[in-house]
Amino acid sequence: MNICIPKERRDSEYRVGLTPAGVQLLSEQGHTLFVEHEAGMGSGFSDHHYQEAGGRIVYSGDEVYGRADLVIKVVPPTRKEYAWMREEQTVMGFLHLTAGQPSKIKTLLEKKITAIGYEIIQEDDGKLPVLVPISQLAGRMVPQIAATLAQNNYGGKGFALGGVPGVPPADVVILGGGIVGQNAARTFLGLGANVYLLDNSLANLQSIDREFKGCVHTLVSYPFNIEKVCSYADILIGAILVPGAPTPVIVSQDMVKKLHSRSIIIDLSIDQGGCFETSRPTSHSNPTYVEEDVIHYCVPNMTGVLGRTATHALNNAAWPLIKQIAKQGIDSALKENKALQRGVYTHQGEIVKDQLNQALKGR
C-alpha cells in the first residue's frame, strides 16, 4: 500500500500524522511511505529522520496526495487538499465534518473517498480511543493559556490563578466533565485555582467528586446553574462533546453579558461549532477577540503548537488502526473493527454517519 504523510497547512499546526518510528514499522512490512518535505519539522523530525526510517521524500502536496492509497493527516484538509485528493483514497485524521462546509463533503462523495474521523472512532463501551490522549493534552494545556490571558499585557484583569495569602484565587468554571474537563480541573487545582465543574450527568459528577476528594465544586448543568456561575466566573471553559455531532450552544449571549469585565472564555468545543453563542473560530496567530467585554479564545487546533508531545500522543493511539488498515486494506479492516467502522463519515460515495446527514439537513 502507498501511505502518504502530507505537511499540515493550517495556521500554526506543528503536528504530523506519523512519526519516523511509524514509518519504519510500516516500511518493514512492505508498504511504501511517502512523506512531504518538512512535514515533521514542527514535531522535531527532519526529512533525514524519515529517510533513515525508509520513507521517501516528495516535494509538493499535489504529489503526496497523488501517490496515496492512504493519507494520514492530523487536522481537517484545506480546500486545496480536497482538490488534490484522488478517487477512492482513504483519508484519516481529525476531520470534524459535521462542522465542515457542504462543498467539501460533496468532494468526498464525488471522489468516493473513505473519510475516517479520529474524533468519532468509538469502542463498544463508548470510549474514543484516538481522541482521548489529545483531549488529555488539551485539558492540561488550558490552564497555561488561561494564566497568560489573565495577565494585563494580554488584555486580562491581571490576576494570578492561585492568588496569594490575603488575596483569593481565581474562580474557574468548567462546562463538561469529560476527559478535557477533568484534566483541566486537575491542572487548575494544582495551580491553586478555585474550580467549579458542571455536567449533565449526576453519576459523572459523583465520580468526579470522589476522584478529586471534594476539592472540585460540582453542579448539574441546568440552564439556571450555568447562568449562576456566569455571575462570578473569572475563567469559563467550554469542554462539551457530543461525538460526531455539532456541539450544542449552552451559554447564550445574555449569559455571557453576566460575566465580569475582561473575564476569559476558552471554547474547546469550537472544532465542532462551539458551545457559546458568542464563539467563532480564531487561530494561534490571532487567538483572541473581545465581545461583550469578555476575552474569547477559540482556537480549534490548540494543541497544534505542542507538536512534539501531541504527535507522539496521537501516534500512540492511532497506530494500531493505521497498522490494521495497511495490513488488511480498508474494506476488510472496517468489517473486522467495529470501532474503526464507527469512525467513517463517507465510504464509496455515500455518507455512512447519521450525524453528518443530520448536520447537513440542518443547514
Supply 93's cell numbers: 485524521
Position 245 confidence tier, pLDDT thresholds 50, 70, 90: confident
For domain 2-121+306-361, say whether CATH 3.40.50.720 is its number: yes
Q: C-alpha cell of 58?
A: 516528495
pLDDT score for 35: 98
Q: What is the pLDDT of residues 47-56, one digit of tens each?
A: 999 999 999 9
Residue-level pLDDT at 219? 98
Average pLDDT rounded to a whole number, residues 250-258: 97
Compute CA distances 310 → 70, 144, 230, whole Å: 21, 16, 32
Per-residue pLDDT, 234: 98
Q: Residues 97-114: pLDDT tens digits?
A: 988 889 999 999 999 999
pLDDT at 176: 98
Residue 137 has pLDDT above 70, yes or no: yes
CATH 3.10.580.10 corresponds to the domain 131-305:
no
Res. 363 pLDDT band, cuts 50 70 90:
low
CATH 3.40.50.720 in the chain is located at 2-121+306-361, 131-305
Catalogue the active-site residues. Answer: 96, 271
Q: What is the pLDDT of residues 142-165, one digit of tens each?
A: 999 999 999 999 999 999 999 999
C-alpha 164/C-alpha 167 separation (Å) is 5
Contact (CB, 8 A) for 119 and 94? yes
Model confidence pLDDT, tens digit, residues 215-232 = 999 999 999 999 999 999
Which pLDDT value is given to residue 291? 97
- What DSSP line would sit under 288-349, residue for residue? EEEETTEEEE--TTGGGG-HHHHHHHHHHHHHHHHHHHHHH-HHHHHHH-HHHHHTEEEETT
Let me know how long the chain is. Answer: 363
